[in-house]
C-alpha cells in the first residue's frame, strides 16, 4: 500500500472512532444538561475544563516529547514514560485543588465544598493517567486504537450519566461518572499495552525520564498557549459572567466540539507521520483541504438546525445558547486547518514556531474575550474564539510555507541521520 493511501486509511479509521467518541460525549452533554440545569452544568463545565487543562499542562510536555522521540531514541520507552507519569500526578492534583478553591469565589461556591473537591481530585487523577495512556498508543502509531479506547470510555460515561439523570442525581454524581470513564480507559489501555508485542522487553532506558522532560519543557510554551486558546474561553465566561452563563456556553460549545473531531483525528496521524519524515506537502495540503471542506458543510447544516435542535435535546432552559452555537460552529471552519497544520509542524520539529502560534492564539483569545464578553455576553466569547482560531491558523500556515519542512524531513530524522553517518570514535 502506498504511503498516501496508508495515511488516508489510518486517518479514516481514527476519525470513525473519534466520531463514535464524540457522539457518546454528546449523550453525556444532553444527560448532564437535563440533570443539572444551566447553573450546575456551568460549574461542571468549568471543573472539566480546568481538569483537562491541568492534565495536559501537568505532563510538562513529556507526552509530546515521548511521541516524537520513541521512534528514534532507545532511552525513551513506555516503562520510562509510565514512571514519569506517576511522579507528575501528585503535583498535578495539588495544583488542581488550589485552582478549584480560587475559582469558587468567582464561579460557584460549590467548587470549594470538600465533597466536590474529593470528586474533582479523583477526576483529575483518572483524566491525567488516561491522557498519558492514550498517548502511548499514539506514539506507537496506533491512533485508531487510541480513538477506539477513548470511544469506549466516552460510552461508559454516557451510560452512567444517563442513569444518574434518570435517578435524579446531582453534580457530585456527574463528576464521578466522568472519572469512571477515564478510569476505564486507563485500565483497559494498560492491559492492551502490556499484551502488545511492541511493548514487550522494553525496560526503562538510562536517562529516559530526564530526556523526556528536557525535550518536553521547550514544548510547554506551544502546548500552554494552544491549550489556553482552545479551552480557556469556557473558564473565562464562568469567571466573568457566572456559572449560569458558563452552562449556556458549555451547551453552545457541544455542536462545535462534534465538528472538530475529524480534524483532530487527522492531526494525530499527521503528527506521527511528520515525526517519521513520511509526510509530504501534497498529502498535508490534501488532508487539510478535505477536512476544512467537510467542516464547512457541517457548520452550515448545524447552524440551520441549531434553533430547533438545541432546545429539543438540552431543554428550553438552554434556548439562549442557539446564537452562540451558530457562531462557534463557523469558528470551527477557522480551527480545522490549525488542528492539522500545527500537528504537522510539531512533528516536523518546528517547536519554536508552534510555541509562537500558541502564544499568538492565547493572547488573542484573552484580549478579545475581555473586550467582547462584557459587551456581548456569551456570543462575544464565540466571536473571540473565531478570531483566535483565524490568527492561529494564519501563523501556522505562514511558518510552514516559510520553513518548507517537508523538503528536509523532521528534525529527529535529520539528527538520526547525522548520528548514523558520523565516523566511528577512535580509541
Q: What is the pLDDT of residue 11?
A: 62
Q: Where are the beta strands (DSSP E) in 13-52?
A: none
- Tens digits of residue pLDDT in 352-402: 787 788 888 889 999 999 999 999 999 999 999 999 999 999 998 998 888
Least confident of 54-68, 249-263, 364-378: 54-68
Phi, psi of 313 (to 5 degrees): -80, -45
Evaluate if residue 195 carries a pLDDT over 80. no
Q: What is the pLDDT of residue 414?
A: 46
Q: Which carries the bigger pLDDT value, residue 67 or residue 337?
A: 337
Rounded Cα gap, residues 192 and 197, in angstroms = 10
What pTM did the predictor assign?
0.80
253-274 average pLDDT score: 80
282-297 average pLDDT score: 88
Most distant pair of Cα atoms in the chain: their distance: 79
- Tens digits of residue pLDDT in 241-255: 999 999 999 999 998
Q: What is the pLDDT of residue 187?
A: 93
Evaluate if residue 320 carries a pLDDT over 50. yes
Evaluate if residue 261 carries a pLDDT over 80. no
Q: Which carries the bigger pLDDT value, residue 334 or residue 227?
A: 334
Q: What is the 3-state secondary structure (H, E, C) of 101-124?
A: HHHHCCCCHHHHCHHHHHHHHHHH
214-235 average pLDDT score: 76
**Per-residue DSSP letter, 321:** G
Least confident of 73-87, 215-229, 311-325: 215-229
Q: What is the pLDDT of residue 146?
A: 83
Whole-number Cα distances in Å, 12 to 20, 67, 123, 274, 299:
12, 20, 30, 17, 20
Whole-number Cα distances in Å, 234 to 20, 157, 193, 228:
24, 21, 34, 10
Amino acid at each position: 500500500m502506498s504511503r498516501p493511501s496508508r495515511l488516508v486509511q489510518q486517518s479514516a479509521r481514527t476519525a470513525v472512532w473519534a466520531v463514535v467518541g464524540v457522539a457518546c460525549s454528546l449523550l453525556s452533554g444532553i444527560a448532564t444538561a437535563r440533570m443539572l440545569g444551566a447553573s450546575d452544568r456551568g460549574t461542571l463545565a468549568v471543573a472539566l475544563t480546568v481538569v483537562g487543562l491541568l492534565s495536559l499542562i501537568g505532563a510538562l510536555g513529556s507526552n509530546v516529547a515521548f511521541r516524537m522521540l520513541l521512534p528514534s531514541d532507545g532511552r525513551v520507552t513506555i516503562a520510562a514514560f509510565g514512571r514519569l507519569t506517576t511522579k507528575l500526578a501528585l503535583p498535578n492534583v495539588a495544583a488542581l485543588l488550589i485552582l478549584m478553591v480560587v475559582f469558587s469565589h468567582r464561579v460557584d461556591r460549590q467548587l470549594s465544598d470538600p465533597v466536590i473537591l474529593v470528586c474533582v481530585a479523583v477526576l483529575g487523577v483518572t483524566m491525567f493517567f488516561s491522557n498519558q495512556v492514550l498517548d502511548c498508543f499514539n506514539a506507537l502509531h496506533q491512533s485508531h486504537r487510541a480513538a477506539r479506547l477513548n470511544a469506549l470510555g466516552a460510552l461508559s460515561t454516557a451510560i452512567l450519566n444517563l442513569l444518574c439523570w434518570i435517578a435524579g442525581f446531582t453534580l457530585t454524581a456527574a463528576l464521578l461518572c466522568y472519572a469512571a470513564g477515564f478510569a476505564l480507559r486507563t485500565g483497559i489501555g494498560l492491559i492492551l499495552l502490556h499484551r502488545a508485542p511492541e511493548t514487550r522487553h522494553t525496560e526503562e532506558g538510562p536517562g529516559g525520564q530526564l530526556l523526556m522532560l528536557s525535550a518536553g519543557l521547550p514544548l510547554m510554551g506551544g502546548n500552554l498557549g494552544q491549550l489556553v486558546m482552545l479551552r480557556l474561553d469556557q473558564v473565562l465566561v464562568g469567571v466573568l459572567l457566572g456559572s449560569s452563563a458558563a452552562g449556556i456556553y458549555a451547551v453552545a460549545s457541544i455542536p462545535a466540539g462534534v465538528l472538530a473531531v475529524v480534524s483532530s483525528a487527522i492531526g494525530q496521524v499527521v503528527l506521527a507521520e511528520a515525526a517519521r519524515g513520511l509526510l509530504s506537502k501534497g498529502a498535508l495540503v490534501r488532508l487539510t483541504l478535505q477536512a476544512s471542506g467537510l467542516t464547512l458543510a457541517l457548520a452550515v447544516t448545524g447552524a440551520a438546525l441549531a434553533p430547533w435542535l438545541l432546545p429539543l435535546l438540552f431543554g428550553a432552559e438552554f434556548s439562549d445558547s442557539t446564537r452562540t452555537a451558530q457562531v462557534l460552529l463557523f469558528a470551527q471552519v477557522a480551527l480545522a486547518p490549525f488542528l492539522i497544520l500545527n500537528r504537522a509542524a510539531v512533528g516536523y520539529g518546528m517547536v519554536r514556531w508552534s510555541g509562537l502560534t500558541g502564544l499568538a492564539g492565547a493572547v488573542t483569545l484573552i484580549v478579545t474575550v475581555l473586550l467582547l464578553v462584557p459587551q456581548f455576553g456569551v456570543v462575544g466569547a464565540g466571536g473571540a474564539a473565531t478570531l483566535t482560531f483565524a490568527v492561529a491558523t494564519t501563523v501556522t500556515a505562514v511558518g510552514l510555507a516559510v520553513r518548507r519542512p517537508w523538503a528536509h524531513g523532521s528534525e529527529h530524522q535529520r539528527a538520526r541521520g547525522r548520528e548514523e553517518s558520523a565516523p566511528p570514535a577512535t580509541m
